[in-house]
Structure 1
Amino acid sequence: MFKIDQIPALQLGISGLDAGLTEEEQAIQEVTHRFAAEVMRPIAEKLDKMSAEEVIAPGSPLYDYLEQVQASGIIDLETMASMDKEQKARIIPLIFEELGWGDAGLAILSVATSFPAFVAHGTGDPELIEIFGSRIGCWLATQPDRGSEVVDLDGRELATGAKQNKGNLSAHIEGNHVVVSGQSSAWVSGAPIAQTALAYIPCDYGEGLYKADGSLNHIAVLIDLEQDGVSKGKPLDKVGQRPLPQGEVFFDDVRVPKKNIVADDAKLAADFFGVLTFANMEMGFTFTGLARAAYEHSLAYVHERKQGGCPIIEHQSVKLRLFDQWQKVEACRAMARRVANFNYLAPDPHLVASITAKTFVTRSCFEVASEAVQLFGGNGLTREYPVEKLMRDARASMIEDGENNILNLKAASYISEWFKENHID
């Protein structure tokens, strides 16, 4: 029981019910919050109102953002990698929640463009680091006819007796090269401005594309997108996350040195599992931030807007709806940070943990953003107010980095396997 002599005033941190943050953690949170408010939000507002072609054109505010985020040192994957496990579990969620509060699309871009560089540095190969270590990259896996099958790369959800779809992009080994042909989907984040790619592609190693169980052989390879045979389509014109450029990449028998292979089929499933585990976890942090942004806009608006002779916060129904938003944001944060603790502090990180956060947070985030539009009424539907953008951005989150339903199916399959192995003789 708490002994309280006098009812205290409510004390809330930048991100709600925070307690026990160290001075270093508070400083990191405050610096990131200021960057999100002063840099990300103004640039994102401009980019959201531009065409997809204008977003990537020379002189676009997008490049100003990329320069400023690099100069800030806020997203430095090498620095994050050098943290101990406890630091990662506590600090990385703080950073990405603030970036998601600033703009989810730009936050995702900042990570996606760093994947090839991070992998190149991880190889320790000076030549790969020279080519891929500092250029703008993208994570290339999705294809037009292989959407959710990419997430189910190991074929766990494949129908009995069926084969995975071959898709539009494949590779084969030819001497000392990997030859890549076909096209990615238009949903590759950062592709329109990317110079490099970390690509996960079905691959024929000499005995065909398919395994006996109907799943595909794959390869993970670093590709220089400025070499001959590579071209790009128009950037995708989409409803949400418009500051995040996405688009197709075409490969016309592009020859990639075998030394660029970062995972062959024997190691591919585990490698992809690791990347998706981080990506889904990061989505949980980022869209907690977006949900918080929608809630905070609602909180301010209901104290300003007057109807029925008073600010609408004085109406009971509005108070209840606002508190429902608050609860969902706090639940998102608790879920996301719990998953960070598991992935960094348990013996092994696991995709089930990350899916648990990704699908719960993105669904809750959309509900919070949709309620924000409802609370704003007609104003919420206009582009003069920020909440309609937040709702559009939140809607995209339930499909990107794995459509939520297929992710939930995969997580349920892993949980079922765990139960069978530990509880059924």
Structure 2
Amino acid sequence: MAASAEEVQNLTNAESSGSRIHQWPASPKSALGISGAEPPMTDIEVEFQQTLRRFALEVMRPIGRKLDRMTPAEIIADDSPFWEFRKKYLELGIDLAQLFEMPPEVRSRMFCLIFEELGYGDGGLAISVGAGVLPQYLSALFGNQFLMERFPQEMLGCWAITEPDHGSDTLDPTGAARHADGKVSRSNCIVSFKGDKMVINGQKSAWVSNGTVAEVCILYAAADTGKGADYEHGCVVVLPLDLPGISRGKPLDKIGQRGDPQGEIFFNDVEVPMEYLLAGPEDFQRAVYCIHAEANVLMGATWTGAARAAADMAFEYAHERKQGGVPIIRHQRVAQRIFEMYRKVEAGCALTRRAAHYNQSADVPALQAAMMAKVSCTQWAHEVTSEAIQIFGGNGLTAEYPVEKMFRDARSSMIEDGCNELLSIKGGYLISDAQKGA
């Protein structure tokens, strides 16, 4: 006589007592957390993430949309919402000194958490925050106590490296990615060493994030020690931007990330004491490598967060919008699109955190890993925001809905901090060198 279904189930349960699988619902399904397939976090991390998510939604998102519709001049005006954002960000109390006191694995996790959530709120404002702390962050990494005390993190910073004649190639001072017949033109900004001071002349291009409003600058430039200017042996100077001889260009009018006020900085016989030198010619290669590794991971985290925001919006809209008598999520192609969007977001999150953890723990960070995070996550952010527009349909093309702005913001990310094409070439050489043991 055959056993009944109930008898079979009872026997199975008896033999498998203690298995957590039997605690699952009969039709298993799990909802992911606010940042996807996140491993368990500490109570402090959970509270911190929730605080940042509220800040992203309640402060960054509305201010970012306001700034997006303003002229460049209005964005940097004294009464601009940009300064309201800046004030409220500082009130969060994110302290670089506390981050550096954390173990490497905790610091890397918190670093990614911060910029994922800031990117979730607004990509342009997140980049402004990231660029804004680079002078202080690099000063701390180099252990320069004078510069750390001279420029507290409340001072808004900028990173000036690209020039009118030198874009992504400034991240490749050794010329590894350069064509064999390529010739390097004269640098547009030169630091001359004269006794106990430095004299800066030239300009940095309009792509300096916070360039029109920053108080302090970390300047990467060619160095002239008396034998002629040489960018391959350049220098890094951290300096205040209120010195005589410094002026700014007009704020840049651009397609996306309008909440990040970018613009030129001009130097005309600017005299700077030697104590503002962070890295001389002998340390310049290290300084380029260092800031590049940090900034590329920052980009990966920021644009993973922006992609997640677009995916979340598309997910909600797909459950609200009806076509054919049912929510569009019930249409197979829409469900597939949603899955593909989250697949890329999860991959970007995992890749960035893996690169951040390695680079914070290793004796020498792997720049190629940071490049992989930057190139992959910005590309995926562009694809995910584009798919979000497709799910919103015609509505996604209008300024009434935020996804078109997110698409424009993400498009810019594939060029900033090194265009993805050059990073991929240089990253390939870095991998090759590592495999050869060079």
CA gap of 1:35–1:128, structure 2 versus 1, over 3 A, is closer
CA gap of 1:133–1:359, structure 2 versus 1, over 3 A, is closer
Local SS of the residue matching 2:269: strand
Which whole-Å CA distance do the structure 2 matches of 1:127 and 1:369 have between them? 40
| Structure 1 residue 82, shift from structure 2 partner | 1.7
Per-residue CA deviations over 1:291-349 (Å, capped at 9, x if unaligned) read 00110111111111122222211211111111111111111111111112211233431
1:165 aligned residue: 185
2:75 matches 1:59: no
Contact 2:136 2:147 (C-alpha < 8 Å) held by counterparts: no
Task: Summarize the alignment of residues 128-277 of structure 1 with structure 2, pairs less than 5 Å apart.
Answer: 129-130=149-150, 134-160=154-180, 162-210=182-230, 216-277=232-293
Contact 2:307 2:384 (C-alpha < 8 Å) held by counterparts: yes
| Structure 1 residue 89, shift from structure 2 partner | 2.5
The amino acid across from 1:199 in the alignment is: L
Which whole-Å CA distance do the structure 2 matches of 1:133 and 1:289 have between them? 23
Per-residue CA deviations over 1:82-138 (Å, capped at 9, x if unaligned) read 211121132221221111101111111112112223345565544772356642221
**TM-score with structure 2 setting the length:** 0.91
Which whole-Å CA distance do the structure 2 matches of 1:401 and 1:30 have between them? 29
1:100 aligned residue: 119
| Structure 1 residue 176, shift from structure 2 partner | 1.8
Which whole-Å CA distance do the structure 2 matches of 1:125 and 1:302 have between them? 52
Aligned equivalent of 1:110, options 126, 129, 134: 129
Aligned equivalent of 2:407, options 382, 387, 391: 391
Per-residue CA deviations over 1:165-223 (Å, capped at 9, x if unaligned) read 2232112112222111111100000111112211000111111124xxxx633110122
Which whole-Å CA distance do the structure 1 matches of 2:69 and 2:241 have between them? 28
1:26 aligned residue: 46
Local SS of the residue matching 1:294: helix
Aligned equivalent of 2:395, options 367, 379, 382: 379
Contact 1:144 1:167 (C-alpha < 8 Å) held by counterparts: no
Aligned equivalent of 2:359, options 343, 347, 369: 343
CA gap of 1:38–1:220, structure 2 versus 1, over 3 A, is same
CA gap of 1:89–1:125, structure 2 versus 1, over 3 A, is closer
Local SS of the residue matching 2:226: coil
Contact 2:147 2:276 (C-alpha < 8 Å) held by counterparts: no
Which whole-Å CA distance do the structure 1 matches of 2:62 and 2:243 have between them? 35
1:39 aligned residue: 59
Local SS of the residue matching 2:437: helix
Which whole-Å CA distance do the structure 2 matches of 1:132 and 1:319 have between them? 48
Aligned equivalent of 1:73, options 62, 69, 93: 93
Aligned equivalent of 1:309, options 325, 328, 331: 325
Which whole-Å CA distance do the structure 1 matches of 2:147 and 2:407 have between them? 44
Per-residue CA deviations over 1:40-98 (Å, capped at 9, x if unaligned) read 11111111111111010011111111111111113x22221221112113222122111
Which whole-Å CA distance do the structure 1 matches of 2:165 and 2:401 have between them? 37
Local SS of the residue matching 1:325: helix
Which whole-Å CA distance do the structure 2 matches of 1:118 and 1:250 have between them? 24
* Stretch moving more, 331-340 or 292-301: 331-340
Local SS of the residue matching 2:112: helix
Max radius of gyration: which structure?
2
| Structure 1 residue 237, shift from structure 2 partner | 0.4
Which whole-Å CA distance do the structure 2 matches of 1:180 and 1:26 have between them? 46
Which whole-Å CA distance do the structure 2 matches of 1:348 and 1:119 have between them? 15
| Structure 1 residue 234, shift from structure 2 partner | 0.5
2:384 matches 1:368: yes
* Stretch moving more, 183-192 or 306-315: 306-315
Which whole-Å CA distance do the structure 2 matches of 1:137 and 1:329 have between them? 29
Contact 1:209 1:216 (C-alpha < 8 Å) held by counterparts: no
Which whole-Å CA distance do the structure 2 matches of 1:337 and 1:20 have between them? 15
Local SS of the residue matching 1:170: strand
Local SS of the residue matching 1:40: helix
Contact 2:144 2:278 (C-alpha < 8 Å) held by counterparts: no
The amino acid across from 2:284 in the alignment is: L
Local SS of the residue matching 1:87: helix
Q: Could you tell me which runs of 5 or more consecutive residues in structure 1 were left unpaired when the two chains were aligned.
A: none
Contact 1:116 1:132 (C-alpha < 8 Å) held by counterparts: no
Which whole-Å CA distance do the structure 1 matches of 2:215 and 2:361 have between them? 35
Contact 1:128 1:260 (C-alpha < 8 Å) held by counterparts: no
* RMSD (Å), alpha carbons: 1.9
Contact 1:149 1:164 (C-alpha < 8 Å) held by counterparts: no
The amino acid across from 2:287 in the alignment is: D
| Structure 1 residue 246, shift from structure 2 partner | 0.3
The amino acid across from 1:79 in the alignment is: Q
Which whole-Å CA distance do the structure 2 matches of 1:342 and 1:390 have between them? 30
The amino acid across from 1:92 in the alignment is: F
* Stretch moving more, 309-318 or 137-146: 309-318
Which whole-Å CA distance do the structure 2 matches of 1:318 and 1:128 have between them? 51
How many residues align? The count is: 417
